[in-house]
Amino acid sequence: MKKTIVLVAFSCSSLALFAQKKTTTSGTVSFDATTSLDALPKAENKTVIAAIDAKSGTVMFEALVKSFSFKNPMMQEHFNSPKWFDSEKNPKASFTGTITNLADVNFAKDGIYKAKIAGALTLKGISNDVNTDATIEVKGKMLSTTATFAVKLEDYKISNAGGKLAAEPTITVAADLK
């Protein structure tokens, strides 16, 4: 009898914890490093894994570098090369952080909330701190999130190809989580 009660209690608490975590495998990360010299360094990856834990405020996303798609195949080749992202050696880009103003986001009530996110972005095997604002829209059991921030290529030892890439490209992360 005690084992049954413990098992039921554990199952219920596991379900409650699982309900707090929202995930997707079809988030999007856009990379925009356009300059006046070159309008082609734009890419998008629509196979991004993302998660938000509503209880703890933990936020994460992970993307395969080779899954970024460019209009110009040559640009894609350069993007994956050792001078840029070196996708053979560093196949993933990731972010792990927290919502620092978690009390301002009501995951139980429909609405649009402004969140402050702090964490570490890892590109090319190098992690750096990132702080950004995000929008979280709660609709029933769904969350729609968007965040945009700039990174310095030099912080990740990525060449800007003689000025053909913006020194601080913009990264936009968007996901619908359930």
Q: Kindly report, residue by residue over 128-137, the tens digit of the pLDDT.
A: 999 999 999 9
Between CA 15 and CA 1 the distance in angstroms is 21
Among 21-25, 43-47, 52-56, 83-87, the least confident range: 83-87
In a domain, 122, yes or no: yes
In a domain, 141, yes or no: yes
**pLDDT, tens only, 16-32:** 433 589 999 999 999 99
In a domain, 14, yes or no: no
Q: In the chain, pLDDT over 70 holds for what percent of residues?
A: 89
In a domain, 170, yes or no: yes
What is the extent of the structural domain holding 135? Answer: 21-177
What DSSP designation does 20 have? Answer: H
In a domain, 114, yes or no: yes
Query: For the chain, how many residues are written?
Result: 178
Report pLDDT for 63.
97
In a domain, 11, yes or no: no
In degrees and rounded to multiples of 5, residue 163 shows phi and psi of 90, 5
Domain containing 147 — which CATH number? 2.40.128.110
Among 115-119, 126-130, 163-167, the least confident range: 163-167
Between CA 80 and CA 87 the distance in angstroms is 5
In a domain, 4, yes or no: no
Of 175, 177, 158, 130, the residue nearest 30 (C-alpha): 175
In a domain, 150, yes or no: yes
As given in the structure block, the two tokens for residue 13 are 């608490």
**Average pLDDT, stretch 45-57?**
97
Report pLDDT for 16.
40
CB atoms inside a 10 Å sphere around CB 137: 14
Domain count, the chain: 1
As given in the structure block, the two tokens for residue 55 are 């209880």
Beta strands in 15-110 (DSSP E): 21-32, 42-53, 58-64, 92-99
